[in-house]
Amino acid sequence: DIVMTQSPDSLAVSLGGTATISCRSSRSVLHSSNNKNYLAWYQHKPGQPPKLLIYWASTRGSGVPGRFSGSGSGSDFTLTISSLQAEDVAVYYCQQYYTTPLTFGGGTKVEIK
């Protein structure tokens, strides 16, 4: 199984600041046939279902604000939230869909400092 490791477990950022979340996979999720990274990021708020933010490691989902960006390739990925807003308080998960079983990272809780 591909193990997804996120860091940090939690972080507190000032309003307007930048949150940076790391995700590392135990093996590469870059598919050589199409040069795509099979990596997604989700935002999960209490009482709501998860929301897809980023897929293919760097493509924003429908309606996702531009302050959310994804980067990285192979086994190392980053989610960056710029100009942090109060509504960005949530738990963020990375997930690989390169192979089954699909696996999620442990989550990173983002709070306001």
Residues of the shown chain interacting with other proteins in the complex, contacts defined by CB under 8 A: 1, 38, 40, 42, 44, 48-52, 54-56, 61-62, 91, 93, 95, 97, 100-107
Considering beta carbons, is residue 75 or 108 the nearer one to other proteins? Answer: 108
Considering beta carbons, is residue 11 or 113 the nearer one to other proteins? Answer: 11
DSSP letter string, 43-80: EE-TTS--EEEEETTTEEPTT--TTEEEEEETTEEEEE
Provide the minimum distance between the beta carbon of 16 and other proteins in the complex, in angstroms, as a whole number.
Answer: 28
The answer to whether the peptide bond before residue 46 is cis (omega within 30 degrees of 0) is no
What are the beta bridge partners of residue 91?
44, 109
Considering beta carbons, is residue 16 or 103 the nearer one to other proteins? Answer: 103
